[in-house]
Structure 1
């Protein structure tokens, strides 16, 4: 089962072999892809021209235009639904986390300090690797709980650089 949220409306979608069920009711659809990435759906004999604008894999959202009207669709799969049922929906989301070196390199600059609040996407460190400067950004909103790397330090891939 999958759940899709569009505005205040929630849709439950299930597939049982060749049959699709939407909110407990069977439905039929046909899909055609055009060369420019647009999709054309025929759902229960109603036509929908759809264009995917953007996909955010981290937040599991898709911005689409359906018949030229924009929508943001939030999608939950079986794992998301199971985690929510177990009260663990925040697993893998923002919260206490470690920021690790994505590759071996040299810490050129530490741009934050312990106790500092950061927002998702804020610059945390500059890591030189393969003669290129790489900005390490915050994966989530939070507070710097610990710095584990210093300016001038050589680090290996996977070393914890700081904790949020």
Structure 2
């Protein structure tokens, strides 16, 4: 399932076999790509000319024009929804000095060293949790001032892994 937010309106998009569901209801549409970022949708016999203006993968937003009206669409996938459900949607936001474990798990690898300069989005370490490998990314530019995570160590949610 994915969740899209357009202004104050929220939409849940899911797929069951060969059918799409929009807010739990069957949703039939026809889509044609007509050029660089141009899409043409036909929904319930109504035409929508859409142009993708920009995509921000980090913030998971898409700026589009639909019939010449601009919209910003925020998209959340299954992982984003799970993190929100677990109360961890703000993990790794900019400005934090400590990077904490978002969930209990096992440190599989530490990818940085004390004193190393890092940039926002750099991979810091790999945490195995719920049988999945999770890459913990740097929340902001900085220098690793302390490294508390040790390869092979089990950590609890909220444990400080490193400081910038």
Residues 112-163 of structure 1: CA deviation (Å, up to 9, x unaligned): xxxxxxxx8xxxxxxxxxxxxxxxxx9649xx68658xxxxxxxxxxxxx95
Gaps of 5+ in 2: 100-111, 121-137, 147-161
Separation of aligned partners in 1, 2:91 and 2:22: 28
Normalised to the residue count of structure 1, the TM-score between the two structures is 0.60
Normalised to the residue count of structure 2, the TM-score between the two structures is 0.60
Separation of aligned partners in 1, 2:75 and 2:144: 34
Instruction: Give RMSD over aligned pairs.
Output: 2.9
Residue 114 (structure 1) aligns with:
none
1:39 aligns with 2:3: no
The structural deviation recorded for 1:101 is 4.9
1:66 aligns with 2:96: no
After TM superposition, what 4+ stretches of structure 1 lie above 4 angstroms from structure 2? 97-102, 144-148
Which protein has the larger Cα radius of gyration, Structure 1 or Structure 2? 1
Residue 76 (structure 2) aligns with:
76
Separation of aligned partners in 2, 1:146 and 1:69: 45
Q: What SS does the corresponding residue of 2:37 show, helix, strand or coil? A: coil
Q: 1:139 to 1:92 in 2, by over 3 A?
A: closer
Separation of aligned partners in 1, 2:6 and 2:36: 24
Separation of aligned partners in 1, 2:57 and 2:76: 11
Separation of aligned partners in 1, 2:56 and 2:88: 21
Separation of aligned partners in 2, 1:75 and 1:39: 18
Residue 109 (structure 1) aligns with:
none
Separation of aligned partners in 2, 1:100 and 1:46: 55
Residue 11 (structure 2) aligns with:
11
